[in-house]
């Protein structure tokens, strides 16, 4: 009887850990997909008028994305102990600076770097055999 109790306990524990890991991974994946969509929308906004990217609309949008990221980062820091969250903040800051300076080339380069980083970072947290091992 004691062995059955231990077996049930360990199966329950393993199932619980697996479920939490999958939910955590899914949350991170959804968060980064949403963030990537916001960056792509902002990229399209920059492309609309390359000579005047420091418009009020663009500045408001990058500020909104940054504020939303700060809120999200607080939650992610409880789940993920990784420097990548800080790298996103630095990337957003650079994009905002270049947008204010009306430097389309640099803003777009930083935006593309952040998009690449976001895609790579998101893949690191998908539940895949290579990530588990």
10-residue mean pLDDT profile of the chain (133 residues): values are 87 90 85 94 94 94 95 83 79 96 95 92 64 49
**How far is it, in rounded angstroms, from Cα 28 to Cα 70?**
15
Judge whether 22 lies within some domain: no
In a domain, 6, yes or no: no
Specify if 77 maps to a domain. yes
Range of the domain at 66: 27-132
Number of domains in the chain: 1
Count other C-beta atoms under 10 Å from residue 32's C-beta: 23
Q: How far apart are CA 35 and CA 57, in angstroms?
A: 19
Is 55 in contact with 49 (CB distance < 8 Å)? yes
Residue 7 located in a structural domain: no
Q: Say if 37 falls within a structural domain.
A: yes
The pTM for the full model equals 0.82
Distance CA 102, CA 59 (A): 10
Residue 8 included in any domain: no
């Amino acid at each position: 009887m004691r062995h059955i109790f231990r077996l049930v306990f360990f199966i329950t524990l393993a199932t619980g850990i697996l479920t939490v890991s999958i939910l955590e991974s899914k949350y991170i994946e959804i968060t980064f997909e949403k963030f990537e969509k916001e960056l792509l929308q902002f990229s399209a906004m920059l492309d609309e008028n390359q000579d005047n990217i420091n418009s009020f609309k663009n500045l408001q949008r990058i500020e909104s994305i940054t504020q939303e990221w700060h809120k999200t980062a607080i939650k992610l820091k409880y789940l993920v102990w990784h420097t990548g969250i800080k790298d996103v903040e630095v990337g957003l800051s650079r994009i905002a600076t270049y947008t204010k300076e009306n430097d389309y080339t640099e803003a777009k380069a930083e935006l593309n770097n952040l998009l690449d980083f976001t895609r790579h970072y998101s893949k690191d947290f998908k539940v895949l055999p290579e990530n588990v091992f």
